[in-house]
Amino acid sequence: QVKLVESGGGLVQAGGSLRLSCAASRTPASPAVMDWFRQAPGSQREWVGAMLQGGKTKDRDSLQGRITISRDNGDNTLTLQMNSLRREDTGVYYCSAVVSGVRFWGQGTQVTVSS
């Protein structure tokens, strides 16, 4: 069973930055896609961005310019750098990966942005 473990969440003031990491293990094959999602209180989970196996990234339009997604294929680690954080960025951030056609999820890491 693929295991995804997020880290790096916490409390940050508006305007600050956070760097989230996701470590993937027990992967029988290199993930074809690794994504970040987030879920704000009372809202549905939404897609944040993705890193494809070839190194191409895709970001949510509303977040472009404030986030950078990177991936270390050597150890299947996905990183989400978030800058100029806003209160509306508050939520639980989830890492997800597609391995051999199956999507797996991490348990999430809480990000709280205070004013």
* Measured CA angle at 21 (ends 15, 26), to 5 deg: 165
Q: Is the pLDDT of residue 71 over 90?
A: no
Q: Is the pLDDT of residue 78 over 90?
A: yes
* pLDDT for the residue numbered 32: 84
Kindly tell me the burial class for residue 102, based on how many C-beta atoms sit within 10 Å of its own C-beta (0-12, 13-18, 19 or more). exposed
* pLDDT for the residue numbered 107: 97
In this prediction, residues 65-89 reach a mean pLDDT of 90
**Of 109, 102, 88, residue with least CA distance to 21:** 109
In this prediction, residues 86-96 reach a mean pLDDT of 97
* pLDDT for the residue numbered 73: 67
Q: Predicted confidence band at 76 (pLDDT cuts at 50, 70, 90)? A: confident
Q: Predicted confidence band at 52 (pLDDT cuts at 50, 70, 90)? A: confident
Mean pLDDT of the chain: 93
